[in-house]
Amino acid sequence: MSSRRNFIKTTGLIGASALLTPANAINQLPEVTAQKIKPPALKAGDTVAITSPAGAVWDADQIETFSTILKSFGFTVVTGKTLKEKFGYFAGTDELRANELNEFFADKKIKGIFCMKGGWGCARILDKLDYKMIEKNPKVLIGFSDISALLLAITAKTGLITFHGPVGNSGWNDFTKNVFTNVVMNNKKFNFPENPANEDKPVLINSGKVSGELVGGNLTVLSALIGSVYLPAWKNKILFLEEAKEEPYSIDRMLTQLKLSGVLNSISGFVFGKCAKCLAEEPLKAFTFHEVIMQHIKPLGIPAFYGAMIGHIENKLTVPLGILATLDADKGIIFLEENCVQ
């Protein structure tokens, strides 16, 4: 949440993400031709692992709470060494965090990998992951916020469907559990539910309906990866984004980066989830989040809306990366056109 933002700002990565890439740069990167791989569906009795590939876990009680939640699904839980390691603000060194993730993927007994928290650090281990091994050992990987870097990279490099969903220190209420169960435990198509009655309704940007593969994640994390080999080819994709505690000018800067690097002009559909607490410190001197989104997305003319249940919120969707979906902007709903697991 705010810690991820503060870590990125402190280490200067916001400035790095603002280095604008030439408009044709994404076309200069090699396109990923990996075949789509669906992981086996999770089921009661499976062994799953909890790891912390980014920030250190400072509250040990959260580990036990999350283990109890996962056990309620019928899983047997293995906890990684990273949950107790401290290396500055990281859950251990880059090598330790990368090795643990590689080991969990290689372990045939482990069927799913859950991330304890975000923060900052996943981008630092992307060049240390064994993508060929991961491709040969497909399994559910789930998380959000800084975990977006892992999801984007692994899906792009291997074709494995990954899942943008709750982490250990985020809420696991009935809405969140129901969507998680339907997406990663049931081998059938699932349409995301409408926003709960106590949530704001989605806001239409551009009318229309479009189909394409879902890809996306946290805006700050994604924009910081522009120019790397850890992002997908963007043509005909439906891009979903979320963010928290960033002022509108910061959202403006990062969407400008996506525009100038060619991302926004390549996608066929767009949805911004929730931008939690994205308010200006001086409102009379700033644009609102709504105005910034309209300035960047409205001119694209593609089906688009914002306000989906994606992001740093309690009622959270589990969104698969790499799955064919249909975005209905007028209804403010995403329909999954295929099952996410096998």
Which residues, other chains included, contact 121 with Cβ-Cβ below 8 Å and sequence gap of 6+? 7, 53, 54, 55, 89, 90, 91, 94, 97, 146
CA distance 246 to 277: 7
Pick the catalytic residue from 67, 213, 223, 242.
242
Give all strands of the β-sheet with 47-51 in edge-to-edge order: 76-79, 47-51, 110-115, 140-143, 162-164, 319-321
> Of the listed 17, 148, 243, 312, which one is catalytic?
312
**Catalytic status, residue 296:** no
CB 327 within 8 A of CB 238: yes
Q: Cα angle vertex 29, ends 23, 34, to 5°?
A: 130
The yes-or-no answer on residue 250 being catalytic is: no
**Strand positions, DSSP E, the chain:** 47-51, 76-79, 110-115, 140-143, 162-164, 203-206, 209-218, 237-244, 269-276, 304-306, 319-321, 324-328, 333-336
Is 242 in the active site? yes
Which pair of tokens denotes residue 240? 């979903």
Catalytic residue (one of 3, 52, 145, 261): 145
CA angle 250, 262, 299 (to 5 degrees): 70
List, by residue number, the catalytic residues. Answer: 145, 242, 312
